[in-house]
Amino acid sequence: MGNELHELLRSLRVWDPAVTALPDFDPATAPADPLALFTAWFAQAVAAGQVEPHAMSLATADEEGLPDVRTVMLHGADASGWSFATHVDSAKGRQLTARPYAALGFYWPAQGRQVRVRGPVTAAPAQEGQADLHARSTGALAAALTGRQSQVLGSAEELARASGSAWERARHEPDAPVPTWTLYQLRPDRVEFFQGDAARRHVRLNYRRTKEGWVQELLWP
């Protein structure tokens, strides 16, 4: 099995021209604020047909400093920061309570692009979290109402019963409160934009926050 995996990995290539178009990126034309560039790149990813461009990796650390990562959805990005949501008593919620600092990673292979965001995280006011939840789909509310995220599950039947009840409530009570649901905002200290290049001369533009504002710097690939 190990050899089969090795051979399979060796057979794969990145940025197949059949599905990937690597755009030019001149960092000299980049805006002063990373949010503006992120917004432009996000729109371009959507236009390029990138599947689920709002999916991102969220990296946190537990009380012992051990890293953890998972895929979540971006809920928004503005002057307050990049936002996502979860239960405050979930694994990632507890980790953010213990160590309120995180990193985000976006990968858009349709254009060979990555964006990395890192900074402190704060919880938005409860009413903002509830408003964000109730603006989403019935399924999102049902999942939030099911709760107990990351806890040990006794059986699939137990999940089916809890989820069924949650779906029923979500359909009939679209404004049902979920007290543990929390909207988090990451205020970036650093934002890096990576543009892949076929000759491996990748462009990496890093924004670093200082007291005077954002500083731009190029990084070696």
Distances (CA, A) of 42 to 38, 214, 220: 6, 20, 23
211 is in an annotated binding site: no
Tell whether 149 is in a known binding site. Answer: yes
Provide the Cα torsion 115, 119, 120, 123; round to 10°.
-20
Instruction: Give the integer Cα–Cα distance in Å for 73 and 106.
Output: 10
Asked if residue 204 belongs to a known ligand binding site, the reply is yes
Give CB contacts under 8 A, 24+ apart, made by 203-208. 203/25, 203/27, 205/25, 205/27, 205/30, 205/37, 207/34
Is 50 known as a binding-site position?
no
Q: Is the dihedral of CA 96, 60, 151, 168 positive or negative?
A: positive
Report the alpha-carbon distance of residue 89 to residue 180 in Å, rounded: 7
Alpha helix positions (H), the chain: 2-11, 34-47, 91-98, 126-134, 138-146, 156-172
Helices (H) and strands (E) in the chain, counts: 6, 10
Neighbours of 24 (CB within 10 A): 7
Whether the CA torsion 147, 150, 152, 156 is positive or negative: it is positive
209 is in an annotated binding site: no
**Binding site feature residues:** 92, 114, 149-150, 204
**Binding site feature residues for FMN:** 92, 114, 149-150, 204
